[in-house]
Amino acid sequence: MAPRRRCPVCRSRQWHKEPSSGLIACSEGHILQNYRNETTTEAEDLGGAHAMLKRTIKSGRKKTEDLGLGRANPQLYHGARGTYLYYQCLQLIFRKQIAALTKLWNLPSEFELICRDIWALNLTLLPEHPPPEPYHYVHGENAGSQDDDDQDPSSDENDEDGDEDGILATLQADTSSESEPEGEDGDGVGRGEPKQTRKKRSPDLNKYRSVTSTIAVLMLACWTIRIPVMFRDFISAIEAYDLPYLDPVRHLPPTMVAHLTRAKIQSLSMQRPPRTLTLHNLTSRLAKKMHASFDVFTPELNAAPLLWRIIRVLGGNPTLYQLTKQLACILSLPLSVTYTLAPGLERLKTNDPEHHVYDHVPVEVGFVAVTIIALKMVYGLDGEDRVHSDPGDPGLSLPAIDEYLEYVSRLSEKDIMERNTMFSSESQMSVGDLNEVMLDEYVSFCERALLGGENDGDGVVAKYFPLKGREWKDLPDSETAIPCGKMQGSRPDEDGKGVRPGEKYKVFIGTDSGGSVATGLEALVRRGAGYIKVSEEDIFSVTERCERRLLSWWKKQRKNTRNRKRSQIRTKH
């Protein structure tokens, strides 16, 4: 729009048109010279060339101050610019997580490259793609814009030499805006016309672009290079504040945090560690999308070390490891992050399924369930002892039921006093139960958790809580020590009277919240569920599914054996 011309007498820029004469005058009443208004005779017969319309007040009319930023903080970024900044902060947190995890677990340098590739695929597979960096903010197009009132006074002479088209255009625009028909609302859309509806945002978008999604990318990267980790390892590192996840905004530069809105800060701030099933859902979804869109196949889990860890946590020995491995093979337990990427089942008939139903569980949950099934087949765990009459029974290599359950209870008591368990969010230990060494370690943990680093800045913790050079003595690790050698194995029963292993096998309904189980079985399920960070109900449910699948396999084997015997009898005759 052309700048308004100043009045040569009073230097005013405010002009208006006289309704009676049609002349243009300034705010002081000076008439604009060299302006002529020509009309035809038809216009004079209609009552004058200047028809006045009464101004109508509209309910949807926006005030002048609402068109700008108003009271909003100009430092905060909104819209596409704010979303772009959010992804920048999320990616910076992800890079800090990679560096912390590489140092914590001594990972190879290729781990960072794999994480970057998977992160790029993750951004591509989001329901809404991240917006590009706004063009006009990058090139600073609006940095040098000025208002007309702030222009140099020397330009007024050039304005006077110009014609009065700018003044007339402004007056006509004001008149047309005042005389809009009532059939249109403040947005310029007719009342009879349908308004454009906003595109609804996916309800799972915030979950897929949260800080939890970065842990899913790290998990897939570990699976890609065959690192034997489980979701429990990431949760433990988060609870110990070794992996940046809880309140990660403090790890961001202040120059970036200053432009984040309150909603963006809340999206980046995590107040509690993620759950195992939540991480599994995000990881399996990402692996499935990568395979479907880019044909990127995630390899199977390095299962042998993880299965041995589960066996050691439950107090087992190599014999129990071998039994659990055979059961997992019979049950076709999937070792992939999602069952859709696992090899299909052998189909002997056309109606045989390609995959088992309800296999969408973490691999470690399946390992715990199969281990409990193996222990139930050996010990029963129903309050009734089993008799080992066969000298070749593998159950003779396992300790007696009483000694085994007592050892598992001792392991649970020792785990409470370990450093990782004592400072976790699920620990019920009070500060009054700590000795001097534990209290010093707790102060160091609080310093790392609250101040976020080895250095506390102003030295407040070192000043008021000076720590002496004391060494923390961990209790024996239940995952590496082999204590079963100290326990005696089961002895064979010469009489052979009683219930043998595998007989009278009881299947407990996992969804029965009001049911009761034996004390030994409950202790094993509680220990296994607490180690892999899932609920006891999940372990009972998965165990029931595997038991019913094993029962179907056993019935099918008996049927095949009978058919084989019948065919042999027919062949003889």
Percent of the chain at pLDDT above 70?
Answer: 72
Query: Where along the chain do its domains lie?
Result: 1-35, 76-134+205-299, 303-343+352-423+438-450+486-561
Tokens of 391: 């000298």
Splitting the chain (573 residues) into consecutive groups of 10 residues, what average pLDDT does each group show? Answer: 75 82 83 70 51 59 49 85 94 96 95 96 92 72 41 42 45 43 42 49 74 96 95 94 92 93 92 93 95 93 94 93 94 88 75 74 95 92 81 83 91 81 76 81 82 56 57 44 54 67 84 81 94 93 92 88 82 70
Q: How far apart are CA 212 and CA 238, in angstroms?
A: 11
Handedness of CA 178, 181, 187, 188 (dihedral sign): negative
Q: What is the pLDDT of residue 263?
A: 92
pTM (two decimals): 0.72
Judging by DSSP bridges, how do beta strands 24-26 and 15-17 pair with one another?
A: antiparallel
- Please, where are the H alpha helices in 393-535? 401-416, 419-422, 436-451, 460-464, 519-532
Listed residue (432, 403, 428) closest to 416, CA to CA: 428
Handedness of CA 24, 30, 36, 37 (dihedral sign): positive
Q: How far apart are CA 49 and CA 38, in angstroms?
A: 9
Q: How far apart are CA 540 and CA 183, in angstroms?
A: 66
**Any idea what the Cα angle at residue 94 is, between residues 88 and 96, rounded to 5°?**
105
Q: What is the pLDDT of residue 477?
A: 43
pLDDT in tens, 472-516: 444 344 444 444 446 666 666 656 667 888 788 888 887 777 778
Listed residue (485, 534, 122) closest to 293, CA to CA: 122
Listed residue (224, 218, 212) closest to 279, CA to CA: 212
